[in-house]
Amino acid sequence: MNEDALVVTPQQEHALTEWSGAADRGLRARTERGKIIGRVLEEGVHYGTIPGTQKPTLYKPGAEAVCDSLNLYPDYESVGNLEDFEKGVFFYRYRCRLKQRGSDAVVSTGIGSCNSMEERYRWRKAERTCPTCSKPAIIKGKAEYGGGFVCFKKKGGCGAKFKDADPAILEQPAGRVPNDDPYTLINTIDKMAQKRALVAAALNLGFSQQFTQDAEDLGAQAGTHDQPPPPPAEEHPPAARPPKSDGEAHHEKDETIISAAQIKRLWAKAYSATETKEQAQEVVGAAIGGYGYEKTSEIRTVHYDPICKAIEP
Ligand SMILES: [Zn+2]
């Protein structure tokens, strides 16, 4: 046995005490974080799991709730931007510092950026307008009511009906078209950069084990932003196709209502795609309205995926 191994110098002893102290503090901090998640954060409102992702996503309201509970406030500093009014390209990057109220000590920092060439800002959804009343309320008629197109009253339309092949409808572009007006989005893009910086700073408080950054950033990592756009015209929502009529099984499936978990997921997508609760409600309302629904609890399984697609940025 080596006697020397048992000799602990005062310096080593000090270091060991420091380490175990640090370990204790780390453990306590972890317990505190667990408590915050349990007490302050509500699933579906502050965070949610988006299909295809492993970890729940921390939303902006969640980041704000974490800050409130720890008595922190965000302080934003611009760390780069680009504004090209000629080309319509806008880019903003911020550093968010989370500071302790009172002492103003910086507790955490995070960087976030946003630009107008991102998928969700680069394109806009072209809406067909009614040849009769000129309202952008044209939706695909339900197959059981004879298909075609309807100027949807619930979207403020006049109720006029049009045939499937009516050129007055079909010749109008629908679906994704390049956004010819990025200028009205400047404030949104700027705010989104701050939102991302805030969420990053909140995650850097030690929550990155439990949560991930916004799912939109996962999309960026997967390279979806670089994919060529689908052809802009003649893009019908999947529900526009008549349902398959090969047997009762399909018909039965058509009538199934989506589950509570699916409703939650749908809202999670909407929250992640927007800034405020009102915007999320607006996005969901528009998406489900296109399929003739007023409430998410009415959505049939067959329409779930296309509605999710419509909500996604
Ligand atoms: Zn109309």
Dist. CA 164 → ligand 1 center (Å): 16
Query: From ligand 1's centre to the CA of 129, what distance in Å?
Result: 8
CB atoms within 10 A of CB 289: 16
pLDDT band of residue 297 (cuts 50, 70, 90) is confident
**Nearest partner of 262 among 54, 61, 48, 53, judged by Cα:** 48
Asked if residue 250 has pLDDT above 60, the reply is no
Give the mean pLDDT of 184-193.
93
215: pLDDT confidence band, cut at 50, 70 and 90? low
154: CA distance to ligand 1 center in Å?
A: 11
Task: For 46-99, write each residue's pLDDT tens digit.
Answer: 998 877 777 899 999 999 999 999 999 999 999 999 999 998 999 999 999 999
Centre of ligand 1 from the C-alpha of residue 194, in Å: 40
pLDDT grade, residue 255 (50/70/90)? low
Mean pLDDT of the chain, nearest integer? 80
> Mean pLDDT, to the nearest integer, of 163-186?
88
Confidence of residue 230 (pLDDT cuts 50, 70, 90): very low
What is the 136 CA–ligand 1 centroid distance (Å)?
Answer: 8
Between 155 and 279, where is the model more confident? 155
CA nearest neighbour of 256 among 222, 215, 210, 303: 303
How far is ligand 1, taken at its centre, from the CA of residue 152, in Å?
A: 7
CA of 160 to the centre of ligand 1 (A): 5
Classified as helix, coil or strand, 130 is coil
CB-based contacts of 219, cutoff 8 Å, min separation 6 = 119, 225
Residue 237 has pLDDT above 70, yes or no: no
Map tokens 């319509």 to a residue: 88
pLDDT at 75: 97
Which among 240, 292, 288 has a CA at the least distance from the CA of 263?
288
Helix/strand/coil for 1: coil
pLDDT number for residue 243: 37
59 C-alpha to ligand 1 centroid (Å): 38
294 Cα–ligand 1 center, Å = 19
- In the reported structure, the alpha carbon of residue 157 is separated from the centroid of ligand 1 by a whole-number distance in angstroms of 5
Q: Has residue 16 got a pLDDT over 90?
A: no
Q: Please report, for the chain, the start and end positions of each structural domain, with discontinuous segments joined by +.
A: 25-121+180-226, 128-173, 237-313
**pLDDT at residue 9 in the model:** 78
Residue 73 has a pLDDT of 97
Q: What's the 145 CA to ligand 1 centre distance in angstroms? A: 18
Of the CA atoms within 13 Å of residue 293, those in its CB half-sphere come to: 19
pLDDT of residue 300: 79
| Integer-rounded Cα radius of gyration of the chain | 25
Taking residues 179-193, what's their average pLDDT?
91
**Cα 84 to ligand 1 centre (Å):** 38
Q: Are 258 and 301 in contact (CB under 8 A)?
A: yes
269 vs 97, higher pLDDT: 97
What is d(CA 209, CA 55) in angstroms, rounded to the nearest whole number?
9
